[in-house]
Structure 1
Amino acid sequence: MSRVLVIESSARQQGSVSRQLTEQFIARWKQAHPSDDVMVRDLAAQPVPHLDADLLGGWMKPADQQSEAEQAALARSNLLTEELLAADVLVLAAPMYNFGIPSTLKSWLDHVLRAGVTFKYTETGPQGLLSGKRAFVLTARGGIYAGGNLDQQEPYLRQALGFVGIHDVTFIHAEGLNMGAEFMEKGLAQAQAQLAQVA
């Protein structure tokens, strides 16, 4: 049995293409892997605060010197990190906002990319500690960006995931969603076909 951690980051609960893709992915995954445990964390319903002084204090100060706010921030980071550590498969649903990922997803990454926990520094540079995990990234984009220099999502997420040792990453892009009915239909169909193959 594998554990699948799904991270939703769309600000919309209704009409979200990335959420539609996530639902389809989960349904197909459960059909193919009925014994797997799937957990969904919705960053719109339960936002993760931006990295701040309380979180830094929680990470860096001895326990007996932490304020209540720092202890709470550390506990939140520990919870999110433990969910990631326990997962065998990570699914990130990431609509494109202003050429990048939603700020909620960036905040989640800021809580789980932790020195000594998900990566470590060595004499030869940083080393990821999460090797052996797989990741799928489901994106929804109004235009067509894959492979172009305006696509800041895929390179950033590949770097962030690779930094913690997750190198087996599959991207599924639903593109052209705001370019008219024909482009939207084609973009969704391509994403759904790819999703069916990998899930």
Structure 2
Amino acid sequence: MTTILRIDSSIKGDVSVTRRLTAKIASHLGGDVTLRDASKLPLIDGNWIGAAYTTAADRSDAQKRLLALSDELIAELKAADTLVIGMPLYNFGVTGPLKAWIDMVCRVGETFRYTENGPEGLVSPKRVFIAYAAGGVPHGSGFDHASGYLRQVLGFIGLTDLTFVAAEGVAADEAVAIAKAEEQIAGLAA
């Protein structure tokens, strides 16, 4: 059975368009779903970075505790066959919670490494479905700074099979935007 990691990053709770879409995508694909609410994640800081760049054998107990949540998130990521990510557009970019998840899972030696030929992703290839929602910024437009960023950072760790489901124009007509996104979901291969 397929294992799906569903990552929600909206701060809007039950009224979030992307949360509704990630639920529909995961249901459409079928499988066991692990839900991760990125809005509950802390931000990284200098101590966290210091721990992440200390070799595992040399980490103090305090550094190990600092990285415990990151280790858990990376384990979820690696265990999943498919990712479903909710990506609302806030001020033309990704949400703070989604950035917090990205910062926690992009770790040298765990999800990427540097080689003489440049960086190499260490996450096994898997399908990634991204529920994009924006009040008025079309997906892929010059004002959408989130989609290109997410494509870049996921590619950096080895994930390049991305499919976007877009609910555009939510501010103008939410029902129409969601209906168009649901049409896209219905056409996804399970």
TM-score normalised per structure 1? 0.88
- Whether contact under 8 Å (1:118, 1:129) holds in the other structure is yes
- CA distance in 2 between counterparts of 1:65 and 1:127 reads 24
Cα distance, 1:48 vs. partner? 1.5
Cα distance, 1:93 vs. partner? 0.5
Residue 25 of structure 1: aligned partner: 25
Q: Deviations over 1:141-185 (max 9, x none)?
A: 100322321110110000011111111000111010112x3xx33
| Consecutive unaligned residues in structure 2, runs of 5 or more | none
Q: Deviations over 1:102-131 (max 9, x none)?
A: 111101101111111111111111111124
Equivalent residues in 2 for 1:145-160 (5 A)? 145-160=138-153
Cα gap change, 1:127/1:51 in structure 2, threshold over 3 Å: closer, same or farther? same
Q: Deviations over 1:28-61 (max 9, x none)?
A: 222xxxxx221101122xx221121221122233
Letter of the structure 1 residue corresponding to residue 60 of structure 2 = Q
1:91 aligns with 2:84: yes
Residue 35 of structure 2: aligned partner: 40
Q: Deviations over 1:52-72 (max 9, x none)?
A: 12211222335565363x332
- CA distance in 2 between counterparts of 1:152 and 1:38 reads 28
Which secondary structure does the structure 2 equivalent of 1:14 belong to?
helix
Equivalent residues in 2 for 1:18-167 (5 A)? 18-30=18-30, 36-44=31-39, 47-61=40-54, 66=60, 68=62, 70-167=63-160
- Whether contact under 8 Å (1:57, 1:66) holds in the other structure is no
Percentage of pairs with the same residue: 42
- Whether contact under 8 Å (1:4, 1:87) holds in the other structure is yes
- Whether contact under 8 Å (2:131, 2:164) holds in the other structure is yes
- Candidates 169, 184, 187, aligned match of 1:194: 184
Q: Cα RMSD between the aligned structures?
A: 1.6
- Whether contact under 8 Å (2:52, 2:108) holds in the other structure is no
- Whether contact under 8 Å (2:137, 2:143) holds in the other structure is no
Residue 9 of structure 1: aligned partner: 9
Residue 33 of structure 1: aligned partner: none
Letter of the structure 1 residue corresponding to residue 94 of structure 2 = I
